[in-house]
Amino acid sequence: MARAHPRRKLRIGIVCYPTFGGSGVVATELGLNLIRRGHEVHFICYAVPLRLREYHKNLYYHVVDVLPYPLFKFAPYDLALASTIVEVVRKHRLEMLHVHYAVPHSISAYLAREMLGAQATFKTVTTLHGTDITLVGADKSYRVATHFGIARSDGVTAVSRYLAQATQRRFGADLAIRVIPNCVNLTRFRPARRRLAGKRRLAQRGEKILVHASNFRAVKRVADVVKIFHRVQHTLPARLVLLGDGPEMSHVVALVDKLRLRDRVTFFGPIEDVENVLPYTDLFLLPSGKPGESFGLAALESMACGVPVIASREGGTPEVIDDGENGYLCAAGDVAGMAAQATAVLSSPARLLRLGRAARRKAETAFPPEGITAQYEALYFELLDRS
């Protein structure tokens, strides 16, 4: 029986990508929740995380400076990160280093610990988020190093059962992986109080609002979002709101023009405050293609706002959405099926309201921020007890 670790203040480092993607959002919210539980948190990133808008005496931010140099075709971010981790550990005596997204963060953490030698006073946790395993980490460019970095972590978590199983299938069933799902800030993401007034800012009276938010990478199939909307708007007055930006944007804009939808589609770009738009929409579309979303944080954010989701039944999304209860799941690429489901639910206000309320309840009960944060904290203390 492990010694019960006294509930004490920990000095925790968090490494993440500070950008639009869900892993950085999850890492930021976790860090803020850990601070609320009395811990000291040090963010170590190449920029201030997008959602880090609060300041607190126990919150620190350390920039990873990556020097470009003509000889380098690719500046070694992983080495700059490892060096910064060493400096922060030495100065702040970190006890825990929690890295989000295995590539290259889990390897940089290992390198930092090796560089510190006996001064390495910290344990490491790697949280797998999805494409670090199913796309990037699976590629021959990174596969061996990704497996090494995960295997050398003291603790490994995955954001869904699907992702834990996918990782063990790919890298070996002997890997111990704890499933700790994502959560969202339920205060920031909540149903609108004065919904109709807010809808007026987005659409004409009577128009239903469909919405999508992502980093517009190929896996998100944003073109399917446009095709689904194209079908829906033939049947009922509707508008499409697109949040985010990324490599597929030009393809999406060309498709909107080809389908003559420009006057019905609003491109908001990579806005930071999606929580000020989502509550005023009616239906969120997340038709990601194979391998699918490992979790689908954007879907959970929408559900927390009381907006149901139609998503592809791929990856970990079925662990977030209960088909027919708080959203709908269809086969990836089934544009006709998703459009039919969207048209049916948008044509029935009572059904839409029931789904939206169930979606909020799911976000509150299945993914409670306090409970999720406590699971990470328990893992930290378990690992520190082993020292």
In the complex, least distance from residue 374 CB atom to ligand GMT, rounded to whole angstroms? 18
Given the complex with ligand GMT, which of 42 and 129 has the nearer CB atom?
Answer: 129
Instruction: From 55-63, 82-90, 227-235, 287-295, give the range in contact with ligand GMT by CB under 6 A.
Output: 287-295
Nearer to ligand GMT, 296 or 306 (CB): 296
Q: Are strands 283-286 and 309-312 parallel, antiparallel or unpaired?
A: parallel
Task: Reduce the DSSP state of residue 370 to 3 states and report it.
Answer: helix
> Which residue of this chain has its Cβ atom nearest to ligand GMT in the complex?
130
Determine the Cα–Cα distance for residues 143 and 136; give it in Å rounded to an integer.
Answer: 8
**Cα→Cα distances 169→273, 280, 289, Å:** 37, 41, 20
- Least separation in angstroms between CB 119 and ligand GMT: 31
Query: Any contact of residue 142 with ligand GMT (CB under 6 A)?
Result: no
Helical ranges in the chain per DSSP H: 22-36, 77-92, 102-116, 131-134, 143-151, 161-171, 195-200, 222-235, 249-258, 297-304, 335-346, 349-366, 369-385
CA 355 – CA 357 distance, rounded (Å) = 6
Task: Return d(Cα 313, Cα 319) in angstroms, integer.
Answer: 10
Q: Which of these ranges, 22-30, 53-61, 80-88, 150-158, lies near ligand GMT under the rule CB under 6 A? A: 22-30
Residues 181-220 that bind ligand GMT (CB under 6 A): 182, 215, 219
| Contact call for residue 293 and ligand GMT (CB under 6 A) | yes
Torsion of CA 328, 332, 334, 335, to 10 degrees: 80
The answer to whether residue 284 forms part of the interface with ligand GMT (CB under 6 A) is no
Give the x/- contact pattern for ligand GMT in 94-113, rule: CB under 6 A: -------x------------
Kindly state whether residue 131 participates in binding ligand GMT, applying the rule CB under 6 A. Answer: yes
Per-residue contact flags (x/-) with ligand GMT for residues 150 to 169, judged by CB under 6 A = ---------x----------
Q: Kindly determine how many residues on this chain lie close enough to bind ligand GMT according to the rule CB under 6 A.
A: 17
Do residues 109 and 99 make contact, with C-beta atoms less than 8 angstroms apart? yes
Query: Cβ 384 to ligand GMT, closest distance in Å?
Result: 25
Q: Determine the Cα–Cα distance for residues 43 and 102; give it in Å rounded to an integer.
A: 16
Interatomic CA distance for residues 89 and 116, integer angstroms: 9
The residue ranges that bind ligand GMT (CB under 6 A) are 21-23, 26, 101, 129-131, 159, 182, 215, 219, 293-297
